[in-house]
Amino acid sequence: MVLLILQSSIVIKNLSVMNFTPDFLVILIILYTLNHGLKDSLKFSIFVGILQDMLNPVPTAFNLISKLLLTLATFSVKNRFFLGDIFIRSILIILLSVMDITVKILLTFLKTGIFYINVSFFAYVFLNFLIFYIVQIINENRQI
């Protein structure tokens, strides 16, 4: 809940790079799905997606849809690969961040008819990777 409020706050918006802020909730959902079963992960992503959409000034279900797809993709990969190495998890974060922003771009296109890809797309992916990496380093230091 704290991350949801933080994600929607003005403080985080001021920390944006090229008008993109890191999506803490994407990282949270990926990490949650990697550590829990499909049913619990879907419930969690639905909850987060609905709340995030409710806090959005423009009412859409884009976050709900993208969070559900993110959970399904993460769970699918989780069952096929060994994800114990931080390098593999980092690649997963990058790929799933690309998927998340691509889904949102496509949903925006379907709603408005405007297909818009910006260079700041790379900043979004990089910030998600950076936040994930920091979380992983903190987790490793806590376990020692």
Taking Cα atoms as reference points, which of 104, 87, 83, 79 lies closest to residue 31? 83
Question: pLDDT exceeding 70 applies to what percent of the chain?
Answer: 83
**Whether pLDDT at 24 is above 50:** yes
Please tell me the distance from the alpha carbon of residue 47 to that of residue 135, in angstroms, as a whole number.
22
- Give the pLDDT band of residue 56 (cuts 50, 70, 90): confident
When pLDDT is averaged across residues 16-20 and rounded to a whole number, the result is: 56
Helix (H) or strand (E) holding 127: helix 120-143
Single pTM value for the model: 0.79
CA distance linking residue 107 with residue 61, whole number of Å: 9
Q: Which amino acid is at 23?
A: D
Per-residue pLDDT, 69: 94
How confident is the model over 76-102, as a mean pLDDT?
85
